[in-house]
Amino acid sequence: MSGDTPKNAEEARLDRDATREELAETLDALGQKLDVKTRVKDNVDEKLDQATLKVADIANEPTAVKFRQGADAVRSNPVPVFAGVLGLVILIRLLLRRRNS
C-alpha cells in the first residue's frame, strides 16, 4: 500500500475535514467569480466614486453630491432615461433626414 493512506480512523476524519474545508473555499471563490451581477455592480460603484471625486475636484462639493444623486437615481430606474435617450436619437435622426431631403 501507499504511504499516503491514513493510519487510523482519526487521521482519516482529519483528512476528510481538511479536504471539505479546501473544497468549500474553492467553491466560494468560484461562486464569487461567477456572480457577474455583483461584480458589475461593484465595478460601477467604483467608477461612480472616481467620477464623483473628479467632479468635486473640478467643481465644488455640492455639485459632486448632486452628480452622485443623479447617477444613483438613473441606476435605480434606468428605463425613463433609456426611453428619453432613445427618443432623442429618433428625433435627431428625423431632423437630419428632413434636412437632407
Q: 93 vs 86, 87, 89, CA distance in Å?
A: 11, 10, 6
Cell numbers 461593484 correspond to 42
Euclidean distance between CA atoms 29 and 17, whole angstroms: 18
pLDDT at res. 81? 83
Q: What is the pTM of this model?
A: 0.49
Alpha helices (runs of H) in the chain, residue ranges in sequence order: 9-34, 36-58, 61-76, 78-100
Cα dihedral across residues 62, 63, 66, 67: positive or negative: negative
Can you give the pLDDT of all 101 residues of the chain as single tens digits? 445 665 788 888 899 999 999 999 999 999 888 888 888 888 888 998 898 888 888 888 888 888 888 888 888 888 888 898 999 999 999 999 888 87
